[in-house]
Amino acid sequence: MVLFDRVPPVQVIPTPDDELFEYLYEPDDLASITTSLSSNSATNYRFENGRRYHGYKEEAWPVPNDERQQNQMELFHQVYSLRLSGRLYLAPITQNPRKILDVGTGTGIWALEVGDLYPNAVVIGNDISPIQPRWVPPNVKFEIDDFNEPWVQPQGTFDFVHAREVHGAVEDWPQFCREAFKVLKPGGWIEVAESAVQLASDDATLPLDCALNSWLRNISDGFEQLGCTAVVGPHIEAWLRGAGFEHVRVEVFKLPVGLWPTDKTERDIGAFNLLNMIEYVGMYGLLTLPRTWSFRDLCGCDFSSKPPLSCWILIANSVLRACGRGCLTSNIY
């Protein structure tokens, strides 16, 4: 039981100044954004095989947006939180950021937590699926937007752009990086965090041609057929440098899968990640591959024996700094 007199008083944070919101968009863009937010197509969901899919540009992303999928996204957010020791990002952004953009925000959990961390900053989260909470802090806003289209945010307005686990949804990564470069202020930062589409083990006990890796290769091929790539880690540094970013730092983290680690933190990560992988199998495969394939075709082998789960997933986490604005070179800053 908690006594009320022991509960610390709530700190009331004033709403950010109106000027923070005033120039988030060019005047000509406001109408199109408002139209998309109020459009019935955004909530005109499609149902298939017992799962719910988004309605706005329904062919753009073949993954469900129902509660089960949202739970999977927030589960992976917990994996990231454990791996980064509770940190929401690694980029050395300014201590008082004014505007932050979370691209492909999903359930909006990252944007909401960053909004709590920086109550005087405006945090914008965009996604093609309106699954974010209706009630949000005054400094957090969510929008229906397709990041594969030209970005509507004015040039040089954000201190920080964040993108996590959007692989398989980006049609043109070099263009994506150029759009991010364009909207960042001089000296602003971008952080891209993407998981590798391959499993590995430190002691080579997990063969590269195992069932899970065969399945992941099939998933990757399926996304390629849809016009997107799921393989980001080996290329993201070159893509961002090509867009004009400087001071590129790439960090690779290991994520265990399963309950085999002896360290408590690693074991917790492995437990959450095992649940994440189980959910991942059911959600990504059947819509990214030909409908005529059987489950055995999907996996690439027979799952009659227990699949190996004593393995690692490699996470490539790229942190890059924008040193220019409104151009594709970085010799301004």
Q: Which of 270, 229, 283 is nearest to 70 (CA)?
A: 283
User: Beta strands 99-103 and 158-164: pairing type?
Assistant: parallel
User: Beta strands 184-200 and 158-164: pairing type?
Assistant: parallel
pLDDT over threshold 50, residue 134? yes
> What pLDDT is attached to residue 41?
64
What H or E segment, with its residue span, contains residue 142? strand 140-144
Q: Sign of the C-alpha dihedral, residues 213, 219, 225, 230?
A: negative
Q: Match 């991010």 to its residue by tokens.
A: 180
Q: Residue 312's pLDDT band (boundaries 50, 70, 90)?
A: low
In terms of CATH architecture, what is 54-322?
A: 3-Layer(aba) Sandwich (3.40)
Residue-wise burial string across 214-223, b where 16 or more C-beta atoms lie within 10 A, e elsewhere? ebbbbbbebb
> How confident is the prediction for the chain on average, in pLDDT?
74
Write out the two tokens for 311. 């393995």
Reduced to 3 states, what is the DSSP secondary structure of residue 150? coil
pLDDT-above-70 percentage for the chain: 70
pLDDT digits (tens, 9 = 90+) for 234-260: 888 899 999 999 888 888 888 888 888
pLDDT over threshold 50, residue 10? no
pLDDT digits (tens, 9 = 90+) for 211-238: 777 777 877 777 777 777 878 888 888 9
Are residues 101 and 121 in contact, defined by beta-carbon separation less than 8 angstroms?
Answer: no
In the chain, domain spans: 54-322
Q: What are phi and psi of 322, to 5 degrees?
A: -90, 120
Alpha-carbon distance 231 to 217, whole Å?
10
Write out the two tokens for 43. 């909530």
Alpha-carbon distance values, 149 to 60, 128, 235, 236, 292 (Å): 11, 11, 21, 19, 32
Q: Residue 181's pLDDT band (boundaries 50, 70, 90)?
A: very high
Alpha-carbon distance values, 229 to 3, 170, 196 (Å): 53, 7, 12
Q: What are phi and psi of 159, to 5 degrees?
A: -85, -25
